Amino acid sequence: MNYNDFKSGLYISFHLTYLQSILFIRFCQGKTEEATFVRAIILKADAERILSRVHNPITVKILSLQAKGYAQWEIAEELNITENAVSLRIHKFRIKYLGVGNNVRA
C-alpha cells in the first residue's frame, strides 16, 4: 500500500457513507461498480488497520484531518503546531508504516 492508497482509504472511511452517493459514483468512474466497491472496501480496511497501529495521537489526528480534506497549514493551525511539524510527522509515518523511503525491497 502506498501513501496515496492510504489517504484514499481514510478518505473513504470518513466520507463514503452510502454506496449510491455521488462521491462513490465519482470514485467508480471508468470501472465496473463491483470491482470499485471491492477496492474501496479493501482500501478502507487497510487504511484503518494501519491507522490503528499508530500510537502517537497527534499523528493520528494529523492523518485524520488530512483525510478529511484539511491542508497542512490548516492542520498546523488546528493543532497549534508548525506546518513543518505536520510535514515531518507525515514523512515519519510514511517511512515507518508504509515503507516509503526505505531502500529495502521485498
Q: Closest Cα partner for 19 from 44, 2, 52?
A: 44
Q: Where are the domains of the chain?
A: 3-98
The pLDDT tens digits for 8-23 are 787 777 765 555 555 5
The grid coordinates of residue 91 equal: 514523512
Find cell 499523528 and name the residue.
59
Q: Closest Cα partner for 24 from 7, 42, 12, 10?
A: 12
The pLDDT tens digits for 17-66 are 555 555 555 556 665 555 667 777 788 888 889 999 999 999 999 999 98
* pTM listed for this prediction: 0.71
Helix (H, G, I), strand (E, B) or coil at 40: helix
CA distance 68 to 74: 11
